[in-house]
Amino acid sequence: MRGICVLTGKPLALVVGMLMADSLRAATSFTLPSEERILPSSLELERKTEPWCPGDCAVAVPFVANYRKGAQRLVFVGTRHAFHPTDPTMRAVDEGFAEVSPKVVILEGFPSAMGENPAPLVELAHHYGEPDASDFGRGELMYAASIALKQGIPFVGGEPTEDEQIQVLREKGFTDADIAFSSVVGWFSQALRSGDIRDTSPESLAKAYPRLAQSVRDQIHLEPPSLDEFRQQYRQLYGTDIVGDDKFPLRIDIGDTTRHGQQTKVSMMTRDRQLLGLIEQQLSQRHSVLVVYGGSHWATLSAALEKRLGKPKVTPFLK
């Protein structure tokens, strides 16, 4: 999974941003691991670490990676976005809980700084599977959170805050205009993948763009490009208009060598450092950890996890 889940047409990151003021708690401190311990993300890495992935890994295959070393147990459920209870991702989540009795569950998509069992997400998890639930409320993360709550297991987000991510991007030389463009294109990608936006037609883009642009203002407090500016910048980067681009959103995924792709790699590294640091902290403190995260993050962390815990037993869920 290479992006953030969507809640009622908005990326979870945006919803979390609206709740941060009320939900931020004192974050449990840990030392971020060095970048050298994390493998750079690439399609080649995914093909190497996930040999069960068909074709060019354009379609992710969920899996369970089970580690055991001494008293420490880690089960990493590698997911893809899923909204149906019979999807292989949901079965992978079930298997993750069956293989370990976790003392904590680490979930993708919201900051560790929100603390354990953040109230807004607990509320969503309690309504998992209801007929009027949003895509996010029906997704694999809230499914995992709902199981954790039923079993009395705390859950916590594995992400850095938006401010932390933006600070790193600026330090790496990306401008606010770069960051705002990438935010819009990323959120458009998620809305398209979730079905909230039907296609890349002029009508769909014109209808969705005001909301996506406002998301940038609300979430990261930057001014987004106008729709015309957005389309022009997309053409400059990719040599084609986003309108009618049948290779979007795969064009902006792993393997993108444009400035947007470079920014995505930096953000991925920032997120992976946070996730690895949290996993290692929780293993040291609680010894038994379940992670439910995109499989691309497991690929980049695989060498560090294997060095600490040995080779895992991996079970893919092809169908």
pLDDT in tens, 64-86: 999 999 999 999 999 988 888 88
Q: What is the pTM of this model?
A: 0.88
Q: Is the Cβ–Cβ distance between 33 and 277 less than 8 Å? A: yes
Tally Cβ neighbours within 10 Å of residue 28: 14
- DSSP string spanning 7-50? ETTEEHHHHHHHHHHHH---PPP-PPPPGGGSPPP-HHHHHHH-
Nearest to 114 by CA among 79, 153, 162: 162
pLDDT value, residue 20:
47
pLDDT value, residue 11:
41
pLDDT value, residue 18:
45
Measured distance CA(18)–CA(256) in Å, rounded:
30
Strands 155-159 and 104-111: parallel
**Residues in the chain, pLDDT under 50:** 1-23, 25-27
pLDDT value, residue 26:
45
Q: Which three-class secondary structure state does DSSP give residue 246? A: coil
218: left (phi over 0), alpha (psi -120 to 50) or beta: alpha
pLDDT value, residue 152:
97
Q: Is the Cβ–Cβ distance between 166 and 108 less than 8 Å? A: no
